Amino acid sequence: MTESYAALLRGIAPSGKNMSNAQLRGVFEGLGFDQVVSVLASGNIVFRAPAQDVGRLEERIRGALRGELGIGGGTIIRTRAELQALLDRDPFAELVHGPGTYLTATFLKTPLAGEIPEQPHPLTRIIGYDADARAVLAVTDNSVPGTTGTWMAWLEKTHGTGITTRTWLTVQRVVAKMR
């Protein structure tokens, strides 16, 4: 049985050497995955593969990215079912993503250990934690320069490098590309 997966890659910059969508897709195709598609230019790859242990799949992809392209960032995998269920729960109901207000989902490699403060940063409001998707959901006031970076630094300091953040719009686009 095959599964539709999304690889949410950490540390991908569209202008980075060896980080083009074509190069990233090439690594996934080289691993034998089917229907490999990139979503935007920020390290989102969707693909189909036989259903398998996600932890092993993450490590296999991470090793290939490091070995073939020299990319040392992390890889977080979610299935189409996990991401679709997150969208269906609509955690940001009636909130709008825009230039000054970012709706974000920070995906954790492992389930959350401990509590997240309601407001860990003065310009960030936690909407909640989705245990099924292993995602911290937040609204960030992005009208003040440097807000997003400070929030991301707090997340990494608190939860380690086994995380990656996507805007809610990106999550929606990723799911739309999954088959």
Q: Give yes or no: residues 172 and 133 share one domain.
A: yes
Q: Give yes or no: residues 106 and 149 share one domain.
A: yes
Q: Give yes or no: residues 33 and 65 share one domain.
A: yes
Query: Which residue reads 């739309």 in tokens?
Result: 176
- Region 8-24 average pLDDT: 82
Position with higher pLDDT, 144 vs 83:
83
Instruction: Specify the pLDDT at position 49.
Output: 96
The number of distinct structural domains making up the chain is: 2
Residue 83 has pLDDT above 80, yes or no: yes
Residues 6+ apart with CB under 8 A from 47: 4, 5, 7, 28, 33, 34, 35, 36, 37
Residue 149 has pLDDT above 90, yes or no: no
Closest to 97 (Cα-Cα) out of 55, 137, 43, 156: 137
The predicted-structure confidence for 51-76, as pLDDT tens digits, reads as follows 999 999 999 999 999 999 988 878 99
Q: Give yes or no: residues 139 and 67 share one domain.
A: no
CA distances from 93 to 54, 89, 116, 139, 144 (A): 29, 9, 21, 12, 24
CATH code: domain of residue 37: 3.30.70.1280
Q: Give yes or no: residues 76 and 92 share one domain.
A: no
The predicted-structure confidence for 84-143, as pLDDT tens digits, reads as follows 999 999 999 989 888 888 899 999 998 887 777 666 777 888 899 999 999 999 998 877
Instruction: Specify the pLDDT at position 147.
Output: 65
Is 98 exposed, middle or buried (CB count within 10 Å of its CB: 0-12, 13-18, 19+)? exposed
pTM: 0.91
Question: How close are the terminal C-alpha atoms of the chain, in Å?
Answer: 14
Question: For 115, what's the count of Cα atoms within 13 Å in the CB-facing half-sphere?
Answer: 4
Domain assignment of residue 165, given as a range: 84-177
Q: Give yes or no: residues 73 and 107 share one domain.
A: no
Q: Give yes or no: residues 11 and 75 share one domain.
A: yes
Q: Give yes or no: residues 19 and 99 share one domain.
A: no
Instruction: Specify the pLDDT at position 142.
Output: 79
- Region 133-156 average pLDDT: 81
Other CB atoms closer than 10 Å to residue 160's CB: what's the count? 12
Residue 144 has pLDDT above 90, yes or no: no
Cα–Cα distance measured from residue 145 to residue 71, given in angstroms and rounded to the nearest whole number? 28
